């Protein structure tokens, strides 16, 4: 199985459908004030680079890197399509984004994910790739529905 990860211009219906599923899932798991996922318009911000992962012509996952400053980036909008869960798509996207952050000269990555049981697989993935728990960062506040993590590059 080959995973093709590419910068996505956010114009395809498949991309919009997966972003919508991501946002819907976030709202099902967390109260509105605790949903920090970006919509398609926010993912077009110049500080954000957005990628999609494809397998045999089908979108399998999405992920983004938001530049916080010259040395720090934030992982955003990580989502694997339901039909591709457990196939390594999330790990491939995460490693791709980590490599891109390094290439840009960043020295650390940060993320916010959910704290409810639905987010345990994501938390385990991040931990297995060297992320550790930390406090809120870059404008986030304490939220019982959030887990904050960071990784030195």
CATH numbers and ranges of domains, the chain: 4-152 (3.40.630.30)
Query: In tens digits, what is the pLDDT along the chain, a chain of 153 residues?
Result: 899 999 999 999 999 999 999 999 888 888 888 899 999 999 999 999 999 999 999 999 999 999 999 999 999 999 999 999 999 999 999 999 999 999 999 999 999 999 999 999 999 999 999 999 999 999 999 999 999 999 999
Q: Print burial letters for 77-95: b (CB count within 10 Å at least 16), e (below 16).
A: bbbbbeebeebebbebbbe
Do 32 and 144 meet the contact criterion of CB atoms below 8 Å apart? no
Question: How far is CA 5 from each of CA 65, 94, 121, rounded to the nearest angstrom?
Answer: 14, 11, 21
Task: Give the CA angle between residues 65, 128, 108 to the nearest 5°.
Answer: 40
CA proximity to 89, closest of 98, 99, 78: 78
Please report the pLDDT score of residue 27 as a whole number: 86
Using alpha carbons, list the distances in angstroms from residue 35 to 23, 76, 113, 128, 143.
8, 12, 9, 24, 10
In three-state secondary structure terms, 17 is helix
Categorise residue 134: left if φ over 0, alpha if ψ from -120 to 50, beta otherwise: beta
């Amino acid at each position: 199985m080959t995973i093709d990860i590419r910068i996505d211009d956010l114009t395809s219906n498949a991309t919009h459908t997966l972003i919508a599923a991501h946002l819907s899932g976030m709202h099902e798991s967390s109260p509105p004030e605790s949903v920090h996922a970006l919509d398609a318009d926010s993912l077009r911000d110049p500080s954000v680079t957005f990628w999609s992962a494809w397998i045999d012509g089908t979108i399998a996952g999405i992920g983004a890197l938001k530049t916080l400053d010259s040395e720090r980036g934030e992982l955003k909008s990580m989502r694997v399509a339901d039909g591709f869960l457990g196939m390594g798509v999330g790990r491939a996207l995460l490693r791709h984004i980590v490599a891109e952050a390094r290439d840009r000269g960043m020295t650390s990555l940060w993320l916010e994910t959910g704290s409810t049981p639905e987010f345990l697989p994501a938390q385990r993935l991040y931990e297995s790739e060297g992320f550790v728990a930390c406090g809120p960062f870059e404008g986030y506040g304490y939220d019982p529905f959030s887990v904050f993590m960071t990784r030195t590059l």
